[in-house]
Structure 1
Amino acid sequence: MLRSLFAGISGLRVNQTMLDVTGNNIANANTTGFKASTTVFQDTLSQMLTGASPGSDDRGGTNPIQVGLGVQVASVSTNFLQGSTQTTGRSTDLMIQGDGFFVVRKGNEELYTRAGAFTFDESGTLVTPQGSRVRGYAVDAGGAPTGPLVDITLDTAGLGPGVTLSSYNFGSDGVLRGVFSDGTQRAMAQLAMADFNNPMGLEKVGETAYRASANSGPVQLGVSGEGRNGTFVAGALEMSNVDLAAEFTNLILAQRGFQANSRVITTSDGVLEELVNIKR
């Protein structure tokens, strides 16, 4: 059977994958905190027809003669370029300016996200739209983080009789500060941030969240401003980093690639048909 037939089939498959990735990017053009993906192709093993030979006193060397056997997907890589700022004015909407991820707990699993559309639920716990709990640290009297990760809550324990929480806000350092009815202010908790040696190694799990994988490296927990961690912007969300102009260009490239490989298959079929007609 003709090698070109199978090369054309492999071309159809990878260009279909490129269409799938591009379509998903376009579908999430308005998804908060979404990071676009790109498709990378590579050739497959080439068949050796004639090996290379060295030169001699009376004859020069010859190069190998090889025929490629098609194409395959090398990777689908996530682009973690910063998205644009969408100002909302809601005090619980948070955006990370720079590197890092929010840490959220879904069931018994810690996940990581760039989507900061949070709210406080009926128990006063900061949660995602899907109900995952946002994680952070308790703070001491000076506002410094202490202890292991905890759920971010509107903790009013230790208040005097009749004292209530009047308002709250998040600072650029991720500290949740409360203003109380007696006129005092107090740091209540601080948002945790996560970083990885290889963020592109993270595994997407839906709901614009990721989990650590074997190639992401272990999670590095900290707070705003530590290491490579960025800062927080309250009252704003990070928009999707999908570039629609680039994605529509990719659509054209994938479509033309698919058409070209279809033509290779059609031409190979014509050659085989001529070969069968010889027997007739």
Structure 2
Amino acid sequence: MLRSMYAGISGMKGFQTKLDVIGNNIANVNTAGFKKGRVTFQDLLSQTTTGASGPTDDRGGVNPSQVGLGSQLGSIDDIHTQGFSQTTSNPLDLQLEGDGMFVLETPNGQAYTRSGNFYLDTDGSIVNSDGYYLVGSDGNSPLTIPDDATSINIQKDGTVSYVDGQNNVVNDQQIGVAVFSNPAGLQKDGGNTYLETDNSGEANIAAPEANGAATIVSGALEMSNVDLAEEFTEMITAQRGFQANTRIITTSDEILQELVNLKR
């Protein structure tokens, strides 16, 4: 009798985690470069009441009899599909079309992001909203634009061009894009950034359009890939699953109460 109660508890815990992930997805529906999460479940070990047996000369085979003990969290995956595009006409707003991430130089080392809202600081360096430097295709050098530069333009291959104070066109810098063999293995670090892990593979930093890397669209941002209609559907499913598991516990408790009352 108690097995059903523990199975219900495990189901409630799992659906609570699913609701947590759904809530985070919905909260970041307008976050540039955000990648939605997905929860998967696995069944727990089953208790075997009778084992399986093969056929004999005078008797056929018998299947095993097992009682499941509930469910457990299988994984929480990041879905790295292309997000929705939003046109801004700001030349320093950059969207990646395809695989890869922008490379940022932080005080703790390199980080990676799909959020392309960049700015110029007082030194002319291209930085994100947290002041992290955007790194070039060599994987090390931050990108800078002089104070007197005009007609800033960023091409599809990441080349940064501008007109300097002597009316010369300068295009000697190129934005770097990091490609990973398993982007789902990256670790979220907050602030729209990801960190490399043992399972993501090493970052292969190259110019856009090289080695399968994404192309860059200037004047646009990649928004979140969260679909609200899908999230609301998943939320209803998770809510009903949670309610059903609470009903299992309630029903099991009522049956236990009946057993206690048999003594009276």
Normalising by structure 1, we get a TM-score of 0.91
Shift of 1:96: 0.3
Shift of 1:168: 1.8
The 2-side partners of 1:182 and 1:223 are apart by 28
The 2-side partners of 1:249 and 1:42 are apart by 21
The 1-side partners of 2:45 and 2:150 are apart by 68
2:208 is equivalent to residue 217 of structure 1 = no
The 2-side partners of 1:215 and 1:148 are apart by 21
The 1-side partners of 2:106 and 2:170 are apart by 28
Q: How does 1:90-109 map to 2 (within 5 A)?
A: 90-109=90-109
The 1-side partners of 2:225 and 2:179 are apart by 19
Please say which of residues 112-121 and 184-193 is displaced more in the overlay: 184-193
Shift of 1:275: 1.8
Shift of 1:136: 0.8
Amino acid at match of 1:57: D
- Deviation track 1:144-193 (CA, whole Å, cap 9, x = no partner) reads xxx5511111158xxxxxxx433321111111112124332111311111
The 2-side partners of 1:175 and 1:149 are apart by 16
- Deviation track 1:106-131 (CA, whole Å, cap 9, x = no partner) reads 21321110000000111111111111
Q: Structure 1 pair 270/47, CA: closer, same or farther in 2 (3 Å)? A: same
Three-state SS of the structure 2 residue aligned to 1:32 is: coil
- Deviation track 1:212-263 (CA, whole Å, cap 9, x = no partner) reads 1121111111110111201000011001110111000001000000000000
Tell me the residue number matched to 2:142.
151
Tell me the residue number matched to 2:153.
169
Q: 1:249 aligns with which of 208, 233, 238?
A: 233
Q: How does 1:118-197 map to 2 (within 5 A)?
A: 118-137=118-137, 149-154=140-145, 164-197=148-181
Identity of aligned residues (%): 49
Tell me the residue number matched to 1:274.
258
The 2-side partners of 1:165 and 1:188 are apart by 14
2:1 is equivalent to residue 6 of structure 1 = no
The 1-side partners of 2:149 and 2:25 are apart by 42
Q: Structure 1 pair 88/148, CA: closer, same or farther in 2 (3 Å)? A: closer
The 1-side partners of 2:33 and 2:80 are apart by 10
Tell me the residue number matched to 1:81.
81
Amino acid at match of 2:153: N
The 2-side partners of 1:24 and 1:63 are apart by 44
Tell me the residue number matched to 2:26.
26
Amino acid at match of 2:140: L
Amino acid at match of 1:118: F
- Deviation track 1:62-109 (CA, whole Å, cap 9, x = no partner) reads 000011100011111111111121010111100001110000122132
Aligned length: 264
Unpaired segments ≥5 residues, structure 1: 138-146, 157-163
Tell me the residue number matched to 1:115.
115
Three-state SS of the structure 2 residue aligned to 1:279 is: coil
Q: How does 1:219-238 map to 2 (within 5 A)?
A: 219-238=203-222
